[in-house]
Structure 1
Amino acid sequence: MKFLIYTVILLTILAVNPLAVSATLPPAYEGRGLYVSYCQLCHGISGKGDGPLAKAMKITPANLTTTVRSRSDAILIKIITGKGRQTITGRDRHNLLSDAMPEWKDIFNESQLMSLIAYLRFLGNTKHDLMGDPKAGLQIYQKYCQVCHGVEGDGDGIMTKLMGIMPMDHTNKNETSRLNNNDLVKSILDGKGRFMPAWRGILSQSDVEALVSYIRLLSH
């Protein structure tokens, strides 16, 4: 009975004002938008340097899934913007990875650079592909998930104190990375434990895939 009451309260909150609180978008989410607009044509969807423009131009962009891992944010900023030289050899940071790498110093501001780097880190570290469109996933997350999992995804939603629960912290990649995409899809569709509701019949398969993709970006 108590759980039923909580469920009714939860659904009432969702129905009345599902987007009551606006989140600060995770850097990797914003960075993905920049990557798609400016980088994907050459570096490819997965960042491996196999984009359609690269093939047309017969160039070999860096494989970002490997090269980014060993470089600091400061070095990546210099490579992306073309500003600055290596301290030891004196070579330009720009074109360090590829002669065809454009200079983006007049395109991206500091916040955008850090968001882009956050997404590059995701490409270099993730074990899981993005199944769907994170942009659609953001809207679904705000409507159905943030009331428990929190506006920022860290598990401090408005319902947690009322119900005495501790939802998964989606910003903790140690928690989310151990689950593959199918595990997350199943948990969302069929529910898990006493308090994670089943969304089958409410969310479609494509909705859930978009939602999983957004969750992946929350931890970067």
Structure 2
Amino acid sequence: MRILIAEDDALLREGLAMLLRSEGFEVLAAVDNADDLLAAFEAADADGAVLDVRMPPTFTNEGLRAALELRARRPGFPVLVLSAYVEDRYASRLLAGGADGIGYLLKERVGNVAEFVDTLRRVIGGATVMDPEVITQLVGRRGFNDPIRTLTPREHEVLGLMAQGLANQDIAEKLFVSETAISKHIGNIFAKLNLSVSDSGHRRVLATLAYLRS
């Protein structure tokens, strides 16, 4: 898999490049700003990009705008956006232009190499992966009479893992329960939130986020 990296912090940029190369990725370019990322994108046939939300010159949302531009130039182009802290409006903007191949993670997740690499592979494969903190923030904004408040602690856990784009089997393994139990939890969640149980994969993420944002 051929990857582009855009991160202004030199240490993290080089660390990401070394990590991905060690995992079998081909790093086509590792740059520190959005303009160079877009230039590298035009010059190489990449399979995906990992980029920071905030980059020079203003350190506001250059990375986000670059991600949107990449996907405008090549619809569905996989992007994994990293941020020092979650701002769910960025996640919303990313999802607004189409959901296939979208990832939004806190930078601290990079420290768990296995999970980070797995997330990147899934995003390149077309999955939608949102940091669980996005769900935590959105849930925290709901009113006390909202149906989301009726979810049990276990259902909240399952909801957070669903937001990461995990399949039922993967959620079951993480929570050390049976896949049947997870299916029941998801059925309960969707029933309480009035969501279609027929949704699967990244569509479940979108449905969940759409409800929480509404």
Normalised by the size of structure 2, how large is the TM-score?
A: 0.25
Normalised by the size of structure 1, how large is the TM-score?
A: 0.24
Q: Which has the larger radius of gyration?
A: 1
Higher percent of residues as strand: 2
